[in-house]
Structure 1
């Protein structure tokens, strides 16, 4: 039986010896891309073969091979010993009838053999002015020449030639030539010299500054605040990168779902380009549900309500109510955490935010039972891209019960802090793969109980991340070693001179996993009630491995101790080890860790489970 319809076939592409070119040829071949998804009859297959000659020639020319040879042959698959007459050249006009005569069910093999030939190089590279752009030759400065990146003698790779026009236009605009335009180049092939002459038509135009800036689309946001917030102003040099940076800054306020910046030609007097900014305001009110669990602190669950533009200047108000202590080895009962946060951006000056919190807490820990009201206000200021500093004032009125003794405290403190972050992440929940994080704080405090006692709490945290791709052991971001160190000290008072909640503790996910919260350090005799201390240190080593697309795992070891002196690295060192799994979501990894203590105290727990969003550090 003759005349298979459809005609099954397989395609073999003979390598050229240049991997990148081979990939381009395979991607260009219709025979390859369509052989499984779009089966056709003999006549259509012959047309597909003829079309591939042009497709493959374009692919070869794009890499500078303008005199290639392409041979496509067809033969019944497996018929290697057949006479030459069995094979058919893809250009033979008899090919359709030959394919029609193939027995039904017989698979044919199409062999594509491209031969590169001699590579062509760029000959003359010429730049000419567009009509109306003045007179004289186009002379590029060093930055513009580097952006063009095209010179006589280099391989005539089409992507490089085309990119040169795009890059030169971008550089001209970045230097203030807002009307600059570089047309796609014209090319002349010189087969006798194996060269390609290129001509770019360039319109440079005048140097332009930013003109009037109009704002539209705002209904709840005050335009005066946006105008003060902007990092670009009239009379600034017109630079697309600076304009885009200003757009992203406004979009990052959390108030707008979209910010668009458009030129508003024509140029005005003095070669100024007016700009139009259009804002689309997002939803200002959101409700979120929160939850978490660990075997030491138990479960916590609640709800928060957020208004992202409450006074019209991107101020954010968040009200949160949580129930805490839902079970847990370090808890004696249910507690609550209720607070209101107000954040006012650009307080006093740009990149300086005012933060105010009023909070009510009740927590029934084994170490102590606390009921407290806190009020604090502070300023957080960014110093460049990596540094942030903060200053706060805080007042706390609390009642604490410990070992049957109840005391009321009034505590006034003035925390000072600084952080450094070179991980390059805008979302702290995203897992870091490189860089450093440093945080240090000094908190002078006064406790008003039976007179006034003064003390200062000092703490420092540091973490770093190393991607094993730098050792050639994995792909970027797949295998990461994370290291963390913590040190703390209380100066000016002994352990029992300061309120229990102001003392230093260790144990739990923030310090030493495998030990319950506040489970590392001195304890009252014959109990698992932690006393706390005036010095603390801890360290963690963690290996993180991505598995497949959405899963991962971790192995970790933690160690730490709490001392009764003001100098760290004193006390009984406790060590915990564990492992965990990760599920990576668009908002960050969901973390499940199990840890066990290697040298637990007599009344300590045998293991701990931690669930959370984001990595531990």
Structure 2
């Protein structure tokens, strides 16, 4: 061996050490970094999104990746796509792929053939116990999806399964257990069967209800409970209790839930956690309305005066055409129907284009929920002076009154499905602290339905009828007028009604009528979540006898879902009326119902 080729034995360890260091140094050098772009063909948007979400390769569209990583992830992609489509019912998915260079980056193209979806051939749902006839359970079972003949959809299956379990719990089967839950898929035949079975156990009943954190004694709180001890547990009743506590306006926090840890012997106690609301509330603000003009309002509310839950409220309005001062004292009564006695005094000074009035009203009534309606039975005493057109008058009336009101909505702040109906009847007898005999009925209704995602249709109607011995003794607030923000837009407030000609004025003046019939149709379109436009047509008349003279107002408006409520700004104009013309501005702020 030549000297140049010889290696002394003592130098071998040093050589090995150097080679190892060289390998580690090479490994520590930065690898060539790149990105990968994934393209999926053959899938609709929903399936494509699911497949992309499951692909690890997709995570490197904006992250650096080495060639070795790309190749490893690419080999996994086919199975990842197939698994991603199984929850949608596709169990025989074909995937053809290609990985190519695009400069320093990579492009992975997958052509996917989802094939035929798996169809449900049988659905077997078994629930032991006596659950038939329980509406919540029957509805959940009837709504189960996927049904026989439909495509297998894992998400729908899980939702339907959870809905049945929740329905069982809601009607008192608190120990319900899903004993069998199986989906058997036959890949070759593209079919599947569903088997579900519940062991429900005993049905629980209501035990005692405990209140924690209330400022009132338990005896007072019992009036809000809509069930009796021993009734079957029903979750809708818990929601009803929570709504009643919210409506009472005594509490900032109200939580109602079953105390499952203390359930025993087929009974479950209910735990109610409360926190008092602010006891005294001061309100005030500036407002503008085309019927009342600009003004300010203020109020003081004592949410509870004593431990018996009595309430007191003072409110005043000072506007260009309306001034009021009112007080209300409310006495809640025992019972489950929000039963209360209410006593009020109101002074009202109103000046419109057709009338002026200064009246004092004393009111006492009994209010409660009756078959889903709010029923108010009361006695009204009204006295004061007024002027309608050129005619001055004064009156005193004592009359009983009944009012029935009800409203429903999917969202009271902005309903897309809702309605309201208020009906009233009142009558007075001359000689019983009344200057004339009269009888009157009224009805006001509103109906709202959403159209698509961005539109609403709103219908509104008002009806009134009066029989009276001496019409001139009726104050303006008991006569019927039309026109204004909530009547026939295009006409000023209370400017539509029967007219009377006076000697010193050749132009007939509106004096109000004995009957009222008004209808409205409105279409709203929202071009953003907060802003929209409206088109409307209002029609009707306030009249006496058979002298109905149809008045029509139509126009356009803007809608704004503001933080303080829906703001409506409308421009309306009368159509074909010799007594009215031009454009009338109408502004309303507040809820639809």
- TM-score category, normalised to shorter length: 0.7 to 0.9
Unpaired runs of at least 5, structure 2: 1-29
Q: Indicate yes or no: 2:63 matched with 1:39.
A: yes
Distance 2:433 2:220 in 1: 49
Larger CA deviation: 409-418 vs 285-294: 285-294
Distance 1:445 1:404 in 2: 26
- How far the C-alpha of 1:323 sits from its partner, in A, is 0.6
Q: Indicate yes or no: 2:561 matched with 1:584.
A: yes
What pairs up with 1:198-347 in 2 under 5 angstroms? 204-218=200-214, 220-256=215-251, 257-268=253-264, 270-312=265-307, 315-325=310-320, 331=321, 335-345=322-332
Q: Indicate yes or no: 2:513 matched with 1:533.
A: yes
- Cα distance 1:40–1:548, how it changes in 2: closer, same or farther (>3 A)? same
Larger CA deviation: 63-72 vs 401-410: 401-410
- How far the C-alpha of 1:379 sits from its partner, in A, is 2.7
Distance 2:131 2:592 in 1: 51
Distance 2:563 2:484 in 1: 27
Q: Aligned-pair RMSD on alpha carbons? A: 4.1
Assess if the C-alpha contact under 8 Å between 1:178 and 1:238 holds in 2: no
- Cα distance 1:28–1:584, how it changes in 2: closer, same or farther (>3 A)? farther
Larger Rg: 2
Assess if the C-alpha contact under 8 Å between 1:168 and 1:182 holds in 2: no
What pairs up with 1:598-613 in 2 under 5 angstroms? 598-599=575-576, 606-613=582-589
Q: Deviations over 1:359-401 (max 9, x none)?
A: 122223343332222111223343334x443322111231334
429, 446, 460: which one aligns with 2:443: 460
Assess if the C-alpha contact under 8 Å between 2:212 and 2:273 holds in 1: yes
Distance 2:523 2:294 in 1: 27
What pairs up with 1:475-490 in 2 under 5 angstroms? 475-476=452-453, 478-490=454-466
Q: Indicate yes or no: 2:477 matched with 1:506.
A: no
Assess if the C-alpha contact under 8 Å between 1:251 and 1:259 holds in 2: no
Distance 1:612 1:119 in 2: 54
Q: Deviations over 1:170-200 (max 9, x none)?
A: 3443453322232684777776777778787
502, 505, 528: which one aligns with 1:548: 528
Instruction: Give the equivalent residue in structure 1 for 2:382.
Output: 396
Distance 1:46 1:587 in 2: 58
What's the secondary structure of 2:490's corresponding residue? coil
Unpaired runs of at least 5, structure 1: 77-101, 129-136, 326-330, 470-474
What's the secondary structure of 2:261's corresponding residue? coil
- Cα distance 1:191–1:460, how it changes in 2: closer, same or farther (>3 A)? closer
Distance 1:127 1:404 in 2: 77
533, 539, 545: which one aligns with 1:559: 539
- Cα distance 1:61–1:264, how it changes in 2: closer, same or farther (>3 A)? same
Assess if the C-alpha contact under 8 Å between 1:230 and 1:250 holds in 2: no
- Cα distance 1:447–1:3, how it changes in 2: closer, same or farther (>3 A)? farther
- Compute the TM-score of the two structures, normalised by the length of structure 2: 0.78
Instruction: Give the equivalent residue in structure 2 for 1:80.
Output: none
Larger CA deviation: 585-594 vs 51-60: 51-60
Q: Deviations over 1:6-52 (max 9, x none)?
A: 52x443222346x65445334544555774xx433345655665665
Distance 2:123 2:353 in 1: 79
Distance 1:161 1:531 in 2: 66
Instruction: Give the equivalent residue in structure 2 for 1:518.
Output: 494
Distance 1:415 1:449 in 2: 15
Q: Deviations over 1:388-429 (max 9, x none)?
A: 4332211123133457776443221222233454x53563x6
Number of equivalenced pairs: 552
What's the secondary structure of 1:510's corresponding residue? coil
